[in-house]
Amino acid sequence: MSDNPFGSDITSEDILEDLEFFDDWEDRYRYIIDLGKKLPPMPAELKTDDNFVHGCQSQVWISADYDASQDQMCFLVDSDAHIVRGLAAMVMAAFNQQSPQAVLDFDMDAYFARSQLIQHLSPTRGNGLKSMVAKIRGAAQSHLEST
């Protein structure tokens, strides 16, 4: 998963700083969609029921892996909707390549509040975003409980 720039080359702080440059939400949405285009592809064999995110308006899959040598969670994500891929990329910037404890400790509510994202999404998109975060945190929690 070394070709995944999210969490290393593209961080949550980078995204927040970039979003501040845009004056209107149309430009911000375009930026978010462009972020989604930078996600590495998810192999079809990972698009399973176990990786499917329930509660999303669109189809979303998240695959979680743990790299013991780096003590970090590695995620792949895909969606059939461009804006959702972009939203998932924002989440990946916060969680990918972080330790399981860092995933659990990250203040996602503050991140979303600072980006002003939630108030500009439909309620179903906002719920889907929260479902993605819950699935990722669940994977981190499961890993911690298994060690």
Of 101, 43, 104, nearest to 76 by C-alpha is 43
Render pLDDT for 45-84 as a digit per residue (tens, 0 to 9). Answer: 999 999 999 987 899 999 999 999 999 999 999 999 999 9
Q: 74 an active-site residue?
A: no
Assign domain 12-146 to its CATH architecture: Alpha-Beta Complex (3.90)
**Residue 83, burial from CB neighbour count under 10 angstroms (0-12, 13-18, 19+):** middle
Q: Domain segments of the chain: what residues? A: 12-146
Is the CB of residue 58 less than 8 Å from the CB of residue 79?
yes
**pTM score, two decimals?**
0.92
pLDDT at position 123 is: 83
Q: Which of 93, 61, 57, 97 is nearest to 77 (CA)?
A: 61
Rounded Cα distance between 31 and 89, Å, is 11
- Can you tell me whether residue 99 is helix, strand or coil? coil
pLDDT at 2: 55
Among the options 10, 56, 108, 132, which is catalytic?
A: 56
pLDDT of residue 99: 96
Name residues of the chain where pLDDT drops below 50: 1
Q: Residues 17, 81: contact at Cβ < 8 Å?
A: no
| Helix H or strand E encompassing 138 | helix 123-146
**The pLDDT value given to residue 118:** 81
pLDDT of residue 50: 96
